[in-house]
Every structure is written in structure tokens, then in C-alpha cells.
Amino acid sequence: MHVIIAGNDENEGREAARKIKEETVNEKVEFLHCDLASMKSIRQFVQQFKARNCPLHVLVNNAGVMLVPERKTEDGFEEHFGLNYLGHFLLTNLLLETLKQSGTHSHNARVITVSSATHYVGRLHLNDLQSRCSYSPHGAYAQSKLALVLFTYRLQHLLTADGSHVTANVVDPGVVNTELYRNVCWATKVVKWMTAWLFFKTPEEGASTSIYAAVSPELEGVGGIYLYNEQRTKSTDASYDEELQRRLWTESCKMTRISDIGSRSP
């Protein structure tokens, strides 16, 4: 595979690409800058990617922040919702045509979006997606993860209606020992430090379900499912609300200023 790592940290991204090349002896690994907290950066990344004239068989949406204090992206969105959800929403939509051109009847292109078990306690506030009325780091994070599940199911509905050879699935990686926990309180950090070896997955273990969703022959042509530990799992009841999926999609199109392909589909 030709692997393109998109991220907002130039040094970390290039170092990751270097390590992968070294370990796999695959030279087709590169880093491109993409800050999902910036609509401008996302559009620039897509331009760079399309200029390479590469097919796109697998898109893994895997960036995120967690429990950050109340703050906004450069476009004025609440950071959890803007980065975790809207950034991936815009990126996927801008790459959708390339995905459709890359997928075939026997080898569908795949979109894998990483959510979290936190989505089970999430509530989608359509009248206050930016958490302006009352801000809670936990509530904002959970809402962004629920939005990703709703987005995935709506995307699969639209892809199916369009007859596209692209599937969209959502993944729960489990509790993974990464830098995502940098914003938790000091007491939680201490508990994490003491128990990570027992309860937390390593990054490699956390990536396994995303990899399964990306390459498993068992999932060829299968979309619109929630995966945990490489198993199909039921997401929260609210995520299956098709009217909620549709309304979130329409509102997201307005926020990111793209045309609503879903307006032509019930």
C-alpha cells in the first residue's frame, strides 16, 4: 500500500513515516500536513492529495482531542465538535469523489471512522452543537463521538442510494494508552499511570479494529456497522435515528459550507 499520514505535527508525522519505512521496507509512506481544526488546512491537504493523482481505497478518520477546556477552532467551532467531528466530516466529503472513483464492485473503497464507547452517554444538541449554553468537557467530547456514529450511518445510507462502491463503518478502539489523556485532571493521570499496564490497550492493540475494518475480506461490501474488538456491536439507540442522522448531516453541510448531497435522498 501507498500510505499517506495526515497530521498537524510535522515532526511527529515525518518521524512516523520514517519508522514505518524502516520497519516495513516500504518506501511508499509519506506525511502531509493537515490540521483538522482548520477548514482551510483541510482544503489545502485535499488539494495536495488530489495533485498526486492517487487512488484512495481506504480513509481512516482517527484524529481527536479529549476533555479540553472550553476553546474554539480557528473557524469558531467548539474544539471537540469542530476537530473531532466537523473536521472529519469535511475531509471525507471532499475526498468522496476520489473514493467513489477508486472503489470497484469486487473491491469497495472504505471509510473507517474512529468513535468511542463514550458515544453511549452522548447527547446531540441540535440547537446548541457548539455547547454555548453550558459547557462540559465530558459532554462536548461525548457529543462529538456520537456525531461520528450518526455521520457514518448517514454516509452509508447515501452511498448505498447512490450505488457507490464505497463502504463506511465506525470503530471503537477501546481504552488506549495514548497522549489523548493529557487534559484529564492530575488524579486521573496518577490512576492511569498506575493501571495502564492492566486496563489500557497499547496503541498497536488499539489500532487492530481499525486495521480489521480497513483490510478484512469479511467486510468486503459491508457498511454501516459499529465495530468493537473486531466484532459487530450495537451502538447507542439514538445513533439509529434516521431523522437525527439527516438533520445532523444537513447542519454539518451548512457549517462546513459544502453542498448537501443528502438533500436529494430521503
Among 120, 141, 153, 212, the one annotated catalytic: 141
- Per DSSP, the three-state class of 204 is helix
Contacts of 1 (CB under 8 A, 6+ apart): 26, 28, 57, 58
CA atoms within 13 A on the CB side of 70: 8
Report the distance separating Cα 238 and Cα 38, nearest Å: 29
Radius of gyration of the chain (CA): 18
Q: Which amino acid is at 228?
A: Y
Cell of 49: 492529495
CA angle, residues 16, 19, 23, in degrees to nearest 5: 140
Report the distance separating Cα 197 and Cα 78, nearest Å: 33
The position carrying cell 464492485 is 105
Q: Is 228 a catalytic residue?
A: no
Active site (catalytic) residues: 141
